A and B are shown apart, each in its own frame.
Chain A
Amino acid sequence: MSAPSQARPVRVARRDADAVGRRTAWNALFIAPYMLAFLVLLVVPLGLGMWLSFQDYDMLAGYGGPVGWENYERLLGDRIFLGSVRNTIWFVIISVPAFVGLGLFLALLLNDDSRKSSFFRSIFFGSSVLSVTIVTLVWRLVYMPDRGLLQNIAGMFGLTAPNFMTTEALALPGIAIVTVWWIIGLPMMLFLAALQQIPKEVYEAAALDNASRWRVLVSITLPAIRRTIVLVAVIEVILQFQLFGQANLITNGGPNNASRPIVMFIYEAGFRDWMLGYAAAASQILFVLMLGAAMLQMWIGRQKDGG
């Protein structure tokens, strides 16, 4: 969107082409309030956090001095932390495709102006405005082993519902279902916005050619919204890496640590056990993992772009 800066004469060095008016330090006042918040509440804590991760700082026992890489070394030997990394990655792997797939599916079905579509869109987006605690309260009642909604339904057929809260293999998938139920609205809306950008003429041409719906989908629609698919995937990876509330409130990380994500580990290390250095080190690892995953995805997206 922004024009390249060579449009301006050379004598005004590094002058921004889109700027209006004189280059003066007074203009910095526009960004001053934000920069103050940015520096004090983001840059400083970020630096402090990096510093903390190399310290032995236990809130209750006091400050024990710098320890080099010890916090990181301990993390790599901490079974619960490694488990939380594994859980988080597994959660991203099972939830992101669900978000992309189901979001796209719903968007394709609801991409018109009919009242029916608008009604369904409200339903699928509506749950996104609820706070995580309401969502978990509702779903704990659904999953409740002896008297939950699932068990009530299964009971009608004389079956026993799977117990998502106490079965190791089902805990994370159970949380993934809740999460998809909660915030499928965002990917659906992003896909809808992208679909509406596709010119109608393209489809009309395809209709004349009598192309099957599947062919239209694969050869027209999907390529046209490829960038949005990558965008949604990146957004969801970043969001789902930050899984916390649902796991904390539904399974409390259990059973047997099967659903404890990294953020919950940070929370527990930092705000339950008050080992601030240790928690800060875990935060840095999460940060690096998220950056890595997002960059990998963008790189993959770009590869496809080129091909």
Chain B
Amino acid sequence: MVLGRGVKKLDLVDMLLLAALVGLAIVWVAPIVWVIGLAFKPNDVLMRTTGGIFAPPFTGKNFRDILATSAVFGWMLNSFIVAIGQTFLTLAISTLAGYGFARTDFPGKRIAFILVIAGLAVPEQAIIVPLHTMFAEAHLHNTYFGLIAPRLAFPFGVFLMYQYFKGVPREIEEAAMLDNASRLKIFFRVVLPLTVPAQATLGIYTFLHAWNEYFWPLVSATKPEMYTLTIGLAATQTNFAQTEGIGFLMAQAVFAGLPILILYLFFQRHIVTAVAGGAGK
């Protein structure tokens, strides 16, 4: 199995490895199953015991309550707006900049490029305190722009696109140049269509990161209406006793996790390639 590629019959080592794999898979799946089970149990029962989640009584009340009242829809909408906005803008400016650095020449390019590459080493936490102050002065907290913008500065996307453009044969463009097409035209007509795979990688990466971002929205979205899913869920979970019950919370978690899991199953192949490709460069 490890390296045998189906040449041999299963031997003892194979059996042990398979057992380990199945055991691990159970560890990975069990908490999710458990939580889904809890989501279908009445809250007052869970108050007493959480044993026997597969035995009745069951209830759909927790999900009905969510549909009727929970703020989770608003949070989800905010998350989508922020994640899509951030993905779109990151793709746009990273592609332009990646192309600019890889394929064009202009005064000051070297120094700009060195600066940007050095920026790769800066972690978000190193700038979050002053950034918060700056955004407060500009009254940008609790706005979509305020949630989207900070991430645009990080050079990962530019670097990725730069690498990609470096691999595109320059002859394609030089041919277009000879036709006297304008630089912008070449970029949009000739170069851009070639970058779709890299765009997908960067897009998926950015989307997932934005969707799961925790620290910045925690300090920037202070108005409950502006909470993203991550922050909204966090705000309800630090003390189970004060909320509407474990079953309701779990239903909320299931509900909130569902869209992204469905997206994942749907785009699995792309996501996997994107993630492996993105960090592998």
Contacts and interface: CB of A to CB of B under 8 A. Distances in A.
- A and B touching (Cβ–Cβ under 8 A): yes
Interface of A: 1-2, 14-16, 18-31, 33-35, 37-38, 40-46, 48-49, 52, 106, 108-110, 112, 120-127, 129-134, 136-142, 144, 147-149, 152, 155, 181, 185-186, 189-190, 192-194, 203, 207, 213, 216-217, 221, 228, 231, 235, 238, 241-242, 244-245, 249, 252, 262-263, 266-267, 270-271, 276, 279-280, 283-284, 286-287, 290-291, 294
B110 to A, nearest CB: 7
B114 interface: no
Contact of A37 (B29, B133, B153, B271): B153
A39 B208 CA distance: 25
B238 interface: yes
9 contacts: A20-B177, A41-B131, A48-B134, A123-B28, A123-B29, A126-B264, A141-B34, A244-B214, A280-B130
Contact of A284 (B17, B126, B238): B126
Contacts of B32: 127, 138
Interface in B228-281: 229-231, 233-234, 237-238, 246, 249-250, 253, 256-257, 260-261, 263-265, 268, 271-272, 275-277, 279-280
Given A26-B106, A266-B129, A235 B279 contact: yes
B198 interface: no
A16 B109 contact: yes
B149 interface: yes
B50 A249 contact: no
A123 B25 CA distance: 7
Contacts, number: 298
B277 A193 contact: yes
Interface in B134-171: 134, 149-150, 152-155, 158, 163, 166-167, 170
Interface residues of B, number: 109
Given A1-B163, A25-B107, A287 B214 contact: no
Grouping DSSP codes into helix (H, G, I), strand (E, B) and loop, the A interface class, with mixed when no group exceeds half, is helix
B279 A137 contact: no
B230 A30 contact: no
A108 B28 CA distance: 18
Contacts of B189: none
B15 interface: no
Contact of B123 (A21, A52, A238): A238
Contact of B92 (A23, A25, A33, A291): A33
A148 B31 CA distance: 10
A27 B123 contact: no
A61 B161 CA distance: 45
Contacts of B163: 1
A112 B110 CA distance: 43
A89 to B, nearest CB: 16
A1 B105 contact: no
